[in-house]
Amino acid sequence: MPVKRRKSKRMATASLETWELYLECGTDYFDDLADAGIAPKGERPSDDIARAAWLAYADELLDRWRSSRHVEQGVPWALERFGDPRVRRRR
């Protein structure tokens, strides 16, 4: 029988706005993640936690970025780091 996946308690306290800057830039300039208790002030969250946030918020963030970004700004950090979750990869 498959193991039931549990939701992270850290994800329950964070919102899209909490993660948006970090997932776009790869840096939490305003300590939003520290204020939400996700990572200590001045430190980055683990890749597993950031990947989980990316999977949870990617659709909405990609829609926001697509409508507001300029081509010369490049791709968001999370898209570059974790890839597009909407694209199924071959095994």
**What is the pTM (predicted TM-score) of this model?**
0.75
Total domains in the chain come to 1
Q: Quick check: is 69 in a domain?
A: yes
Q: Quick check: is 1 in a domain?
A: no
What is the extent of the structural domain holding 70?
14-82
Q: Quick check: is 48 in a domain?
A: yes
Q: Which letter, b or e, does each residue of 8-39 get, where b requires 16 or more Cβ atoms within 10 Å of its Cβ?
A: eebbeebeeebbbbbbbeeebeeebbeebebb
Q: Quick check: is 7 in a domain?
A: no
Quick: pLDDT tens for 12-67: 457 899 999 999 999 999 999 999 999 999 899 999 999 999 999 999 988 888 88
Q: Quick check: is 52 in a domain?
A: yes
Of 86, 78, 82, nearest to 24 (Cα)? 78
